[in-house]
Chain A
C-alpha cells in the first residue's frame, strides 16, 4: 500500500472510530446533555440555513482573519529580528517559551480594559495566542540555517534585507510554515476564547449563550463545526507542511 493510500485509510478508520465513540457516549449519557452524531449533523444543517448563524460566523471569521494576519506579520518580524542577532536569540528564546506556556486567558481582562468590548479585543486576544508560536518557530528556523548558506551570503556581500530575502527566508520556509500552522490553530482558539468571555457576537458567544439557555443542540452543532473547521484546515496545512519538509 502506498503512503497516501495508507494515510487515507488511517484517517477514515479514525473518523469512523470517533463517530462510534461519540455514538457510545451518547448512549451512555443520553438525551439530557448530548445529541447523537446524526442528530447533530441534522441540526447543523438547519442552523447553517439561519441568518443569525451567519452573522455570528462572519463576525468570528473577520476577527480571526485580522488576528491571523497580525500574528503572522508580527511573529515573522519578531522571529527574524531576534533570529538574526545571536545574543538576542539566546536570551529571548527561553522567555518566549515561558510566555508560550502561561495561561493567556487570564490576560483577557487586561485586554478588555485596554481595548474595550468588541472586535478589537477579540482580535488582540487571538493575535497574542498566535504571535508567539510564529515568532518561536521563525527564530529557531533562522538560527538553525546552515552556516555555509549564511557564509556564502557574506562572501557575496549581501545587505541584511537581501540576506533575508534570498537566503534566510527560503532556507527557513519549511519551519516557518510549521509555525504558521501552529499559529493558525492557536489564533483560532484565542479568537473563540475571546468571544466566550464578554462578547456580543461570534461563535464563542453563541456557545456561552447556549449554556445559559441550556440549548444542547446549539452547543453540539457549534462545537462540531469548530472542530471540523480546525481539523480540516489543519489537515490541509499539515499536508503542505510535510511536502515542504520533504523537499528540503
Chain B
C-alpha cells in the first residue's frame, strides 16, 4: 500500500515538474499555459479575493440539486422496477445504450424549451446520472439473498418495509457506488452545460475567461473544478472501500 502511494505521488510530482520545466524553458509559451506554481498562486489569490464565491456556490447548488434528484429518482425507480420483470426487460436495451447517447446534444433543445436558466443544466446533470443509479440499484438488488426476502415475508413486511429494513441496507455498498456515479455525472452535467451556454456559474466563468485570454482566472478555476471532483470522488471511493472491507468483500 505504501509503495502504491509513493508511486502515485511520484507520478503526480513528476508530471507537475515536467510541466513546470516545459513552461519555464518556454516550450509551452505563457499565453498557452502559465507554469504550475503560478497557477497555484493565482488560485490562492482567487480564493482569497472571494469574488467568484457566488458563482462557485451557484454551480455547487445546481450540482447538489441534480445529484439529489437523480439519486432519489434512481433509487425509487430501481427499487420499484426490480419487482416488475417484464418492464425491466423492456427497459434493458435502453439502459444498455443510454450512455452511448450524447446527452449534451439535448442541451440546445432544453434551452429552447425551458429558457436559458438553471433548469436545463440541472436537467442535463439529472439525466446523465439517473440511469447509472437505476442500473447500480438493480444490480445490487439482484444480489440480495433469497433467504433475506423470505425472512421479510415471514415477518409479514410489506414491500415498503422490506425495502427500508431489508433490501436497501443490504445494498449499502451499491447505494454508495450509485451516489459516487450520480455525483460525478451531476458535476459533469452542470459544469459542462454552464460551459457550453449559460449566464453564470463556474463553467461559464471558465468560458468567459477563455474568450478574454484571462489565464490568471481560467487556469485556477479549471484546477479548482478538477480538485473538487477528484476530492469528492476520492472521499466516496474511500468510504465504499471501508464498507466493502467490513463485509469481507474485496
Contact = CB atoms under 8 A, between A and B. Distances in A.
Interface of A: 6-7, 10-11, 13-14, 17-18, 29, 33-34, 87-88, 90-92, 94-95, 97-98, 101-110, 112-114, 181-182, 184-185, 188-189, 192-193, 196-197, 204, 207-208, 210-211, 214, 216, 219-220, 222-223, 226-227, 230-231, 233-235, 238
Interface string B183-222: 0100110011001110000010011011000000011011
Nearest to B32: A113
Nearest to A7: B93
A105 B195 contact: yes
Contact of B112 (A6, A11, A114, A219): A219
A17 B86 CA distance: 14
A230 B102 contact: yes
B105 interface: yes
B104 A196 contact: yes
A32 to B, nearest CB: 8
Given A6-B89, A196-B196, A87 B106 contact: no
8 contacts: A91-B4, A91-B7, A92-B11, A95-B8, A101-B184, A106-B192, A114-B33, A204-B105
Contacts of B113: 29, 33-34
A210 B109 CA distance: 10
Given A94-B8, A223-B105, 11 more contacts: A17-B90, A87-B3, A103-B229, A106-B192, A185-B101, A204-B105, A220-B109, A223-B106, A227-B101, A230-B100, A231-B101
A101 B222 contact: no
A112 B218 CA distance: 13
A102 B7 contact: no
B92 interface: yes
B interface, by DSSP: helix, strand, loop or mixed? helix
Contacts of A103: 187-188, 191-192, 203, 225, 229
Contacts of B91: 14
Contacts, number: 162
Interface in B87-118: 89-94, 96-97, 99-102, 104-106, 108-109, 111-113
Nearest to A94: B237
A56 B170 CA distance: 51
A105 B101 contact: no
B102 A226 contact: yes
B47 interface: no
A197 B195 contact: yes
B54 interface: no
B83 interface: no
B233 A101 contact: yes
Given A113-B32, A192-B104, A192-B105, A91 B96 contact: no
Contact of B99 (A95, A182, A235): A182
Nearest to B96: A238
A227 B219 CA distance: 33
A231 B11 contact: no
Given A108-B195, A192-B102, A223-B108, A234 B188 contact: no
Contacts of A185: 99-101
A106 B206 contact: yes
A14 B89 CA distance: 10
Contact of A230 (B7, B94, B101, B111): B101
A166 B221 CA distance: 47
Contacts of B40: none
A211 B191 CA distance: 19
Nearest to A241: B96
B97 A112 contact: no
Contact of B90 (A13, A92, A109, A114): A13
B230 interface: yes
Given A182-B99, A230-B101, A106 B195 contact: yes
**The 8 residue pairs across chains A and B that have the minimum distance between CB atoms:** A234-B100, A185-B100, A91-B7, A101-B184, A109-B210, A105-B192, A33-B113, A103-B188
B33 A113 contact: yes
B226 interface: yes
A210 B218 CA distance: 28
Contacts of A219: 108-109, 112
Contact of B234 (A92, A98, A112): A98
B31 interface: yes
Contact of A211 (B111, B184, B237): B111
A237 to B, nearest CB: 8
Contacts of B203: 103, 105-106
